[in-house]
């Protein structure tokens, strides 16, 4: 009886944790913005939620400005400067790569979801990251760069695989990444 009660409690915990962590993260972001903006705004003009409104307005203005030539030149200069500093370039490069994965309005880094045939009966889900990059490393070998993520952790391998061992899957990148990262236990999105 005790095992059954503990199992039910564990199932409830597993169901609640993602929701609660998401709600807490959103609350933390909004509270941090409010805390940062309240000393700047006079009390007569302040109302609850002004920090969030101001942040959204600043993000909109920043989005408009990054399309200007001189802002792009400044950002490129800053990026090249960061890439010259030994420890900073590693951190900057990792953050830049992570941001490029979800970069809005740009070509997505993960170009397609594929099945990689390891043996006749074993296949891995992978993501083609570059159709032409393998050509510079492996001339005349007809290979693709495929990222294979680890389950339950951030990381994985980039493999250069013969094209005949790779076949496309009819599934979107987000769903495939969810399946890969949860070890295949995710069923929250339906595969096409």
Condensed to tens digits (0 to 9), the pLDDT of residues 77-129 reads: 888 888 888 888 888 877 776 666 555 444 444 568 888 888 888 888 888 87
Helices (H), the chain: 2-37, 50-65, 69-82, 86-101, 133-137, 173-181
Residue range of the domain that includes 89: 66-101
Task: Say yes or no: 118 and 94 in one domain.
Answer: no
For residue 144, being part of any structural domain is answered with yes
Whether residue 116 sits in one domain with residue 97:
no
Domain boundary among 57, 80, 101: 101
Same domain, 97 and 157: no
Contact partners, residue 63, CB within 8 Å, separation at least 6: none
Tell whether 88 and 122 lie within a shared domain: no
Return the higher-pLDDT residue of 172 and 60.
Answer: 60
Tell me whether residue 4 is in a domain. no
Structure confidence at residue 142 (pLDDT)? 79
pLDDT tens for each residue of 29-63: 888 888 887 788 788 888 888 877 877 888 888 88
Q: Do 121 and 169 have their domain in common?
A: yes
Q: Looking at the structure, do residues 91 and 138 belong to the same domain, yes or no?
A: no
Q: pTM for the whole thing?
A: 0.45
**Count of domains in the chain?**
2
Q: Tell me what the mean pLDDT of segment 164-186 comes to.
A: 78
pLDDT at 136: 67
Q: Which of 38-42, 122-126, 132-136, 172-176 has the lowest mean pLDDT?
A: 132-136
Per the document, the length of the chain is: 192
């Amino acid at each position: 009886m005790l095992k059954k009660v503990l199992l039910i409690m564990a199932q409830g915990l597993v169901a609640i944790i993602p929701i609660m962590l998401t709600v807490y993260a959103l609350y933390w972001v909004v509270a941090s913005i409010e805390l940062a903006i309240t000393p700047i705004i006079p009390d007569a003009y302040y109302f609850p939620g002004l920090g969030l409104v101001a942040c959204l307005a600043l993000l909109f203005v920043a989005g408009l400005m990054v399309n200007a030539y001189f802002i792009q030149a400044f950002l490129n200069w800053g990026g090249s400067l960061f890439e010259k500093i030994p420890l900073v370039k590693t951190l900057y490069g990792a953050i830049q790569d992570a941001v490029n994965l979800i970069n809005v309005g740009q070509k997505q880094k993960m170009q397609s979801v594929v099945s990689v045939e390891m043996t006749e009966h074993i296949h891995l889900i992978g993501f083609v990251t570059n159709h032409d990059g393998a050509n510079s490393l492996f001339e005349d070998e007809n290979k693709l760069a495929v990222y294979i993520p680890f389950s339950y952790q951030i990381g994985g391998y980039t493999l250069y695989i013969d094209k005949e061992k790779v076949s496309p899957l009819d599934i979107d990148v987000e769903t495939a990444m969810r399946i890969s990262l949860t070890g295949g236990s995710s069923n929250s999105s339906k595969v096409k």
